[in-house]
Amino acid sequence: MPDAEGHPAPEDMELGKIFAALADPLRRKVVLTLLQEDGETPRACGTFGMPVAKATRTHHFRVLREAGLIFQVDRGNGRLSSLRRAELDQRFPGLLDLLMHEGAREAAKTEANKTAAAET
Amino acid sequence: MPDAEGHPAPEDMELGKIFAALADPLRRKVVLTLLQEDGETPRACGTFGMPVAKATRTHHFRVLREAGLIFQVDRGNGRLSSLRRAELDQRFPGLLDLLMHEGAREAAKTEANKTAAAET
DNA sequence: CTTTAGGTACGATGCAAGTCGTACCTATGA
DNA sequence: TCATAGGTACGACTTGCATCGTACCTAAAG
């Protein structure tokens, strides 16, 4: 049963919704950013550099929230998002590690490309 | 670069496609079945009990194949599917364990429901 | 109080995905 | 050889998703 803001309880999270949410590269990047920043400091929705309109951003964050990936708290002006790390590790063990692994892999690949370009 | 039958090499597999493929419950069930059967014995496409038309089944198996989740071999009449277990464990460590974990969880929940119904 | 910044709600649109029926292909077996 | 079973190819339909513009809301700043 989700709460008033639409956050599902861990036992109500569905793997299908999690996968569907993470299938989109923009949303995956948001989760990865939160994951890598490691900070418990939540970030404002607008600070992720998503190259889309405001309305679209709201849509993506809703998908992430309703899947159970992020927790959003209303701070009057602005809304802060944080990763539901502990609950996700408990409910879907290995999921966040998988994302982290892939993030590192892509970073390495990008770095390799830059190096190759510099050597041209 | 995929081969002639559309199987991508491990380094060409994309997490986005994997997640998109596994977002569908029918496809997730196919992978889970292969995962649990543990057998190296590949199964024919028609033996998974998918409640859809033949053409739809072909579609789902193509998505799984092009994402890199399954390997299909043409056996003249009939086509056998097997899980690309080793490659997936290498490329996306933790993914199959995550699926297995969720499969066990759902099986337990279903069992609990049946028990509760029997006690009514 | 007015402005401004961050987000949401709503409606519209274009595109991709899941579904199916039908026709066709290929081996196996009678 | 002919029928049958398992799959694919193609086209069509429907639904859902990502996207956006616009209007609106709320709090902080001036």
What CATH number is given to the structural domain containing A104?
A: 1.10.10.10
Domain membership flag for residue A119: no
How far does the CA of residue A77 sit from the closest CA of chain B (Å)?
Answer: 33
Q: What is the pLDDT of residue B81?
A: 93
Q: What is the mean pLDDT of chain A?
A: 91
Mapped to the 3 state alphabet, what secondary structure does chain A carry?
CCCCCCCCCHHHCCHHHHHHHHCCHHHHHHHHHHHHHCCCCCEEHHHHCCCCCHHHHHHHHHHHHHHCCEEEEECCCCEEEEECHHHHHHHCCCHHHHHHHHHHHHHHHHHHHHHHHHCC
A3 in any annotated domain? no
Question: What's the burial of B101, exposed, middle or buried (CB within 10 Å: 0-12/13-18/19+)?
Answer: middle
CB of B54 lies under 7 Å from some atom of strand C: yes
Q: Is position B1 within any domain?
A: no
Question: Is the per-residue pLDDT at B39 higher than 70?
Answer: no
Condensed to tens digits (0 to 9), the pLDDT of residues B49-68 reads 899 999 999 999 999 999 99
User: With pLDDT > 90 as the criterion, what percentage of chain A qualifies?
Assistant: 68
Q: Rg of chain A's alpha carbons, rounded to an integer?
A: 16
Give the residue numbers spanning the domain of B72.
10-118
Q: Is residue A2 in a domain?
A: no
Q: Judged by CB atoms within 8 Å, which residues 100-119 of B form the interface with A?
A: 101-102
Structurally, chain B folds into a number of domains equal to 1
Judging by DSSP bridges, how do beta strands A79-83 and A43-44 pair with one another? antiparallel
Which pLDDT belongs to residue B37? 83
Q: Which nucleotide is nearest to B51 (CA to C1')?
A: C19
Interface with chain A: mutation pick from B27, B99, B102, B113, highest number of A CBs within 10 Å: B102
**Within-domain flag for B32:** yes
**pLDDT-based confidence at residue A21 (cuts at 50, 70, 90):** very high
For residues B111 and A21, which has the higher predicted lDDT (pLDDT)?
A21
Residue A27: how many other CB atoms lie within 10 Å? 21
Backbone angles phi, psi at A6, to 5 degrees: 90, 25
| Residue B95 three-state SS | helix
Percent of chain B's residues with pLDDT above 90: 68
User: Does B111 map to a domain?
Assistant: yes
* Nearest nt to the A76 alpha carbon by C1': D27
**Order of all β-strands in the sheet with B43-44:** B43-44, B79-83, B70-74
Q: How confident is the model at residue B40 (pLDDT cuts 50, 70, 90)?
A: low
Q: Measured on CA atoms in the order A95, B97, A63, A106, is the torsion positive or negative?
A: positive
pLDDT of residue B88: 98
Would you say residue A87 lies in a domain? yes
Do the domain assignments include residue B4? no
